[in-house]
Amino acid sequence: MTSLLRRRARPETTDAPVISMVDVGMTYPNGKVALADVNVRIPAGDFVFLVGPSGAGKSTFIRLLIREQLPTSGVIQVAGRNLLRMRRGQVPALRRRIGIVFQDFRLLPSKTVAENVAFALEVTGTPGSVIRQRVPTLLSLVGLHDHAHHLPTQLSGGEQQRTAIARALVHDPAILIADEPTGNLDPVTSWEIIQLLIQINQLGTTVLMATHNQEIVNAMRRRVLALENGHLIRDEAAAAYEREY
């Protein structure tokens, strides 16, 4: 595994955080408060669950991290960059430092597994020689080497999510954000995806996973950030999923 994805030096938790939110608030123009006074510090190499009921602010939290939106108050730093001071032209470089996967996979149906992964490299101007070398490496990492020429419709849900994870890793990101990655998967496949995320985390990539899956959160005993009505109501290490959700 280490030969497939470059292993990062495991940083100490006292190092500069890879994600930092200070007094972050987000109020939409219609007056709805999506986030209020959120303070979070995630060190590099951490594995963090983001939990909370629907409408709690998880999606806004993620959109702010990838700078799809800007907060109405507070400061956000991701991978050493202050997102509020970032110019529009610098956003693509930030997003190459962040891999993201979704519940609905978001693969391009007309492209094969390998083409879906390669697409993420092509559109960022990566040379063909690098793409030809990088894509098989990533497909091996996620266990899809034999499915490289299959279309997404020929894959199971788990395989489609693996393809999406391979695509999220093309730029060797510092952070992998997984938004309900097991939401459309059966329990067995969900665990396979979690195992893959753990492996990626062990290689040094910080993983932030938004989920409703109580079983996984309880079994993993990792740090949990719990949101409710836009407020961070719990930030606990080695925590479990609690009944309030």
CB of 125 to another protein, least distance (A): 5
Q: In angstroms, give the least distance from the CB of 49 to another protein.
A: 21
Beta bridge partners, 177, equal 100, 208
Per CB under 8 A, which region of 11-19, 155-163, 166-174, 190-198 contacts another protein? 166-174
Q: Return the range that interacts with another protein (CB under 8 A); candidates 74-82, 122-130, 180-188, 234-242.
A: 122-130
95 forms part of the interface with another protein (CB under 8 A) = yes
Q: Does 187 bind another protein (CB under 8 A)?
A: no
> Using the rule CB under 8 A, is 108 a contact of another protein?
yes
Count of residues engaged in binding another protein, rule: CB under 8 A = 22
* By the rule CB under 8 A, 10 interacts with another protein: no
80: left (phi over 0), alpha (psi -120 to 50) or beta: left
Spatial distance between the Cα atoms of 210 and 183, rounded to a whole number of angstroms = 10
**Could you say which of 8, 41, 63, 96 contacts another protein (CB under 8 A)?**
96
**Secondary structure (H, E, C), the chain:** CCCCCCCCCCCCCCCCEEEEEEEEEEECCCCCEEEEEEEEEEECCCEEEEECCCCCCHHHHHHHHCCCCCCCEEEEEECCEECCCCCHHHHHHHHCCEEEEECCCCCCCCCCHHHHHHHHHHCCCCCHHHHHHHHHHHHHHCCCHHHCCCCHHHCCHHHHHHHHHHHHCCCCCCEEEEECCCCCCCHHHHHHHHHHHHHHHHCCCEEEEECCCHHHHHHHCCEEEEEECCEEEEEECCCCCCCCC
* 17-25, 92-100, 154-162, 231-239 -> range binding another protein (CB under 8 A): 92-100
The yes or no reply on residue 29 touching another protein (CB under 8 A) is: no
Q: Is 88 in the site for another protein (CB under 8 A)?
A: yes
Applying CB under 8 A, which part among 143-151, 163-171, 188-196, 231-239 lies near another protein? 163-171
**Dist. CA 95–CA 102, nearest whole Å:** 15
Query: Exactly one of 50, 79, 120, 142 binds another protein (CB under 8 A); which one?
Result: 120
Tell which one of 93, 146, 149, 218 touches another protein (CB under 8 A).
93
**C-alpha to C-alpha distance for 79 and 95, rounded to whole angstroms:** 10
Contact status: 130 vs another protein (CB under 8 A): no
Note whether 87 binds another protein by CB under 8 A: no
Is the Cβ of residue 96 or residue 145 nearer to another protein in the bound state? 96
Residue 227 binding another protein, by CB under 8 A: no
Q: How far apart are CA 28 and CA 80, in angstroms?
A: 26
Closest approach of another protein to the CB of residue 92, in Å? 4
Q: Contact residues for another protein (CB under 8 A)? A: 66, 88-89, 92-96, 100, 106, 108, 119-120, 122-125, 127, 167-168, 170-171
